[in-house]
Amino acid sequence: MRFNNIQVLRLVAAVGVVVTHLSPYAEREFGVSGPGWDLLHLPGIAPAFVPLFFAVSGFVLTHALQSSSPGRFLLHRAVRLYPGYWLTMGAVTAACAVGLWPGPYLSFAEPNPTAETVLLTPPTAFRLGQYPLVVEWTLIYEMVLVIGLVACRLAVGVRGLPYAAAAWLAVLAVKSVVAPGMGSASLPSWKTAWVSVYVAPFLMGVLAYSLAGYGRRWRWPVFAVACALQLVAALWVPFADIDPHQWLRGVAAGLTVWFLVQVPDVSATNRLAVGGGYSYGLYLVHVPLLLLSFRLMQQANVLVGTSAGAALAGVVAITAGLAFGRFELWMHGRLKRGADRLVASCGRLRAATAGRAGGVGPRILGARQRSESAG
């Protein structure tokens, strides 16, 4: 089952993240400045995009858990997250290592990944250049949620997932009151990731899926509440107040995802819905594409330090990123089918082995009985 409205939201959030990153990187790495350029920081809007991504992930992961065993779910998530990420991170790291990257990667660091970078697990230590794509921290949080959801699924079953999510949210709420800011670093650790306020939007996505069949007549008032929460976060609760700000953004994101399921779904052939399928690839490569565009223009001494040059880099990042996203989606489809065939083959092999082993005992017993009868 496809949720095409959710796909549209994924594309909007991905493009929003690109625009949000374009402004600071153009300033630091390309020398662009000016009062008009500051507007591309999207003040008040930019902090909404990542919680929307997280809420969508919670929704999609809960949907996947409904019909998959925990083992198959983990396999599918690995096939979804890792191949495109490894391809992008590996290409950037290799290009810089062998001198093919035009100039420095970042002005302050070169790619320097670790085993934890490769596995997308919470780091035990941090060093400059450890996360070449810059967005890895969000994928680490997604891995945390994947592990948490599987644990909840094993503990309380599919029907208990919304109750487990609600209980987890209650723990986060108490933590935000008693120890605000605890565990809420953008790079989580294994000890604190579970109580990070960044997990709240994921869990709101879980509830959005679980409550998708309820309250449809209240969809517009709920959407109005979501917009109001975003407005409050933008105008009156600064991002530095991490817990209250992320709670407002996270609840608003969950309500928005729930709302989109209540309104008529756009066609699967809608260009925005199709583009939503390419959003993961765009998300992975947009920072390297921005930096590559800046370096190429600097080497050619074309549009350096200009708004036009930065805008060109943004267009390149979005168009080339979506093209890569299309390839990544195709690759994922092939790998997922291959993984499913491998699992099916292993299942048939185990069944055949068990059948042969189960038949040995009766054959021996039958032979012994025939021998005794003959004697």
pLDDT recorded at residue 368:
56
pLDDT recorded at residue 194:
93
pLDDT recorded at residue 345:
85
Instruction: Round to whole Å and give the CA distance between 112 and 47.
Output: 27
C-alpha distances out from residue 315 to 22, 88, 286, 326, 328, Å:
10, 19, 10, 17, 19
**Closest C-alpha among 339, 334, 333, 287 to residue 88:** 287
The rounded mean pLDDT for the chain is 92
pLDDT one-digit tens code per residue, 231-255? 999 999 999 999 999 999 999 999 9
pLDDT recorded at residue 362:
55
pLDDT one-digit tens code per residue, 29-54? 999 987 777 777 788 899 999 999 99
Instruction: Round to whole Å and give the CA distance between 2 and 60.
Output: 10
Amino acid at position 12, single letter: V
Instruction: Round to whole Å and give the CA distance between 159 and 154.
Output: 11
pLDDT recorded at residue 22:
93
What kind and span of H or E run contains 233? Answer: helix 219-235
Other C-beta atoms lying within 10 Å of the C-beta of residue 365: 10
Mark the ranges of the chain whose per-residue pLDDT is less than 50. Answer: none
Cα dihedral 350, 354, 357, 359, rounded to 10, equals -140
pTM of structure: 0.91
| One-character DSSP codes across 122-164 | --SS--TTS-TTS-HHHHHHHHHHHHHHHHHHHHHTTTTHHHH
Instruction: Round to whole Å and give the CA distance between 203 and 146.
Output: 11
- CA angle 361-365-371, nearest 5°? 150
pLDDT recorded at residue 207:
98
Domain map (residue ranges) of the chain: 4-374
223: helix, strand or coil = helix
pLDDT one-digit tens code per residue, 48-102? 999 999 999 999 999 999 988 999 999 999 999 999 999 999 999 999 999 999 9
